[in-house]
C-alpha cells in the first residue's frame, strides 16, 4: 500500500471510529440509564449502585434518606403522608463510610434537600474502610467522566438492552409482574420485600445454618477504633446545610446476643452514647429504635438484623410524632431497654446459646 492510500485508510478508519463512538454516545445520552442528565421514573431497570448519584442531582426532592439495606424497604408514600415531604431514599447494601460521604457531599453541592435522614449501622465504625465502591465517573461532571459513562460496559451491556426492552413492553401495554414494576420505581429503589420471607422459623433456620451471618468484629481496642471513626464520620457532614436526623435501626435481640457472645456488646453501647453526644453537639437529632419491644419477636425478621417493611413504616411514624427520640434525659432508658430485651431473649431461646 502506497503512502497516500495508507494515509487515506487511516483517516477513514479513525473517522468511522469517531462516528461510531459519537453515535453510541448519543444513544446512551438519549436513553440515559443512570439518570446522569434526567430522571425517567417507572421506565428503566434501576440499580441503586448506578442511579443514586443521578437521582441526587436530578430528582425532585426536599428530603434525602440514606443508608444501608436497613432503609431499602421504606415506603416513600408514608414519608409523604406522615411528614409532608418530597422524599428520595438512597439505600446501598453494606454501604461504607466513604460512600456515605461521597453521596452526602453531592447532595450538599446540589443543595436540594432540607432534611437528611441517615441510618446508622454501628458495624461501619468497626472497620477502617478507606475505599469507595461507588463508580467515581458517576460523581464527576468533567467531559472525560461523561464520555466514560456514555460508553461504559455497564451502560451498553447490562442496562440499555434491558431498558429498551422495558420501553417496548410499555408501548405494547404489557402488564409486568409486581417485582418488575418495583425494579423500575424510584420510590422502590433497592426494595427487597418481594425477594424474602419473614418469620421465626426462617430466622432460626438461617441462623443455625450460618446464612446472612454478620461480619466478624475484632473486640480488641474496639471502642477506641469506633470513636475515632465516628469523629471522622461527623467531620464529613455539613450540619449547616439542613436538618440532620440520625437513627439506629431495630436489629433483633438475636443480633445483640451474638454481640454479647462475641465480646463487643458493651463497646457497641458505649459507642452509641459517644455517637449521640457527638451528633447532638453538632445540632443533629438522634432516634434509637434498638430497644423497641418487637425486637425480641423473630416473627418480625428475615434474619438477625433485617425486619419487615411494616417496621420501616412504623419508624417514619416515629419520626413524625417524636417517639424514640433520644435526649440527654432519656438516653439511659433506651440503653436499659436494649439490655433488658437482650436478657429476656436469651432466656426464651436458651437452647440457641448452649
In tens, the pLDDT along 130-178 reads: 899 999 999 999 999 999 999 999 999 999 999 988 888 888 888 888 8
DSSP class per residue in 219-277: -TTHHHHHHHHHHHHHHT--GGGSEEEEEE----HHHHHHHHHHT-HHHHHHHHHHHHH
Element (H, E) at 9: helix 3-31
Q: Which residues pair with 307 in a beta bridge?
A: 301
- Quick one: residue 301, left, alpha or beta (phi over 0 = left, psi -120 to 50 = alpha)? beta
Q: Which residues pair with 88 in a beta bridge?
A: 64
| Strand-strand pairing, 243-248 and 285-288 | parallel
Mean pLDDT of the residues in the chain: 93
**Dmax (CA) of the chain:** 89
State the burial class of residue 167 (Cβ atoms within 10 Å of its Cβ: 0-12, 13-18, 19+): middle
User: Phi and psi dihedrals of 338, rounded to 5?
Assistant: -65, -45
Element (H, E) at 118: strand 115-119
User: Phi and psi dihedrals of 292, rounded to 5?
Assistant: -60, 150
Helix (H, G, I), strand (E, B) or coil at 278: helix
Distances (CA, A) of 90 to 73, 148, 175, 220: 11, 23, 27, 33
Q: Give the pLDDT of residue 2.
A: 56
Q: Give the pLDDT of residue 177.
A: 84
Q: Give the neighbor-by-neighbor strand order of the sheet with 285-288.
A: 87-91, 63-67, 115-119, 243-248, 285-288
CA dist., res. 55 & res. 63, Å (int): 12
Q: Give the pLDDT of residue 344.
A: 97
**8 Å CB contact between 335 and 286:** no
Residues with Cβ within 8 Å of residue 163, at least 6 apart in sequence: 31, 33, 43, 44, 45
Residues with Cβ within 8 Å of residue 216, at least 6 apart in sequence: 262
- Quick one: residue 175, left, alpha or beta (phi over 0 = left, psi -120 to 50 = alpha)? beta
Q: Give the pLDDT of residue 7.
A: 66
CA dist., res. 149 & res. 29, Å (int): 9
Cell numbers for 271, please give them. Answer: 459507642
Give, for all 354 residues of the chain, the pLDDT tens digit. 555 666 677 766 667 878 888 899 999 999 999 999 999 998 898 999 999 999 999 999 999 999 999 999 999 999 999 999 999 999 999 999 999 999 999 999 999 999 999 999 999 999 988 899 999 999 999 999 999 999 999 999 999 999 988 888 888 888 888 888 888 999 999 999 999 999 999 999 988 887 766 667 888 899 999 999 999 999 999 999 999 999 999 999 999 999 999 999 999 999 999 999 999 999 999 999 999 999 999 999 999 999 999 999 999 999 999 999 999 999 999 999 999 999 999 999 998 887
Cell numbers for 215, please give them. Answer: 461480619
Amino acid at each position: 500500500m502506497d503512502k497516500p492510500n495508507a494515509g487515506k485508510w487511516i483517516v477513514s478508519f479513525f473517522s468511522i471510529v469517531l462516528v461510531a463512538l459519537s453515535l453510541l454516545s448519543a444513544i446512551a445520552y438519549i436513553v440515559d440509564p443512570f439518570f446522569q442528565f434526567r430522571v425517567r421514573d417507572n421506565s428503566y431497570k434501576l440499580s441503586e449502585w448506578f442511579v443514586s448519584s443521578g437521582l441526587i442531582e436530578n430528582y425532585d426532592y426536599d428530603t434525602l434518606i440514606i443508608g444501608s439495606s436497613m432503609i431499602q424497604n421504606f415506603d416513600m408514600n408514608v414519608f409523604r403522608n406522615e411528614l409532608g415531604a418530597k422524599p428520595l431514599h438512597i439505600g446501598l447494601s453494606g454501604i461504607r463510610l466513604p460512600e456515605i460521604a461521597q453521596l452526602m457531599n453531592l447532595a450538599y453541592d446540589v443543595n436540594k434537600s432540607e432534611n437528611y435522614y441517615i441510618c446508622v449501622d454501628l458495624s461501619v465504625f468497626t472497620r477502617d474502610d478507606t475505599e469507595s465502591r461507588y463508580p467515581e465517573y458517576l460523581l464527576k461532571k468533567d467531559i472525560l467522566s461523561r464520555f466514560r459513562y456514555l460508553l461504559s460496559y455497564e451502560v451498553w451491556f447490562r442496562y440499555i438492552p434491558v431498558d429498551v426492552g422495558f420501553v417496548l413492553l410499555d408501548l405494547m401495554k404489557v402488564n409486568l409482574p409486581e417485582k418488575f414494576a418495583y425494579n423500575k420505581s424510584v420510590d422502590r429503589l433497592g426494595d427487597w420485600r418481594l425477594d424474602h420471607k419473614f418469620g421465626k422459623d426462617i430466622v432460626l433456620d438461617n441462623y443455625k445454618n450460618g446464612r446472612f451471618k454478620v461480619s466478624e468484629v475484632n473486640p480488641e481496642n474496639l471502642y477506641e477504633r469506633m470513636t475515632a471513626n465516628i469523629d471522622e464520620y461527623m467531620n464529613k457532614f455539613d450540619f449547616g446545610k439542613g436538618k440532620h436526623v440520625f437513627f439506629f435501626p431495630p436489629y433483633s435481640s438475636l443480633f445483640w446476643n451474638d454481640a454479647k457472645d462475641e465480646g463487643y456488646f458493651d463497646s457497641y453501647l458505649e459507642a452509641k452514647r459517644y455517637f449521640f453526644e457527638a451528633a447532638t453537639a453538632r445540632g443533629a437529632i438522634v432516634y434509637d429504635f434498638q430497644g423497641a419491644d418487637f425486637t425480641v419477636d423473630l416473627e418480625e425478621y428475615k434474619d438477625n438484623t433485617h425486619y419487615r417493611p411494616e417496621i420501616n413504616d412504623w419508624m417514619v411514624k416515629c419520626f413524625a410524632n417524636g417517639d424514640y427520640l433520644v435526649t440527654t434525659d432519656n438516653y439511659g432508658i433506651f440503653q436499659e431497654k436494649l439490655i433488658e430485651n437482650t436478657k429476656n431473649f436469651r432466656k426464651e431461646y436458651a437452647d440457641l446459646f448452649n
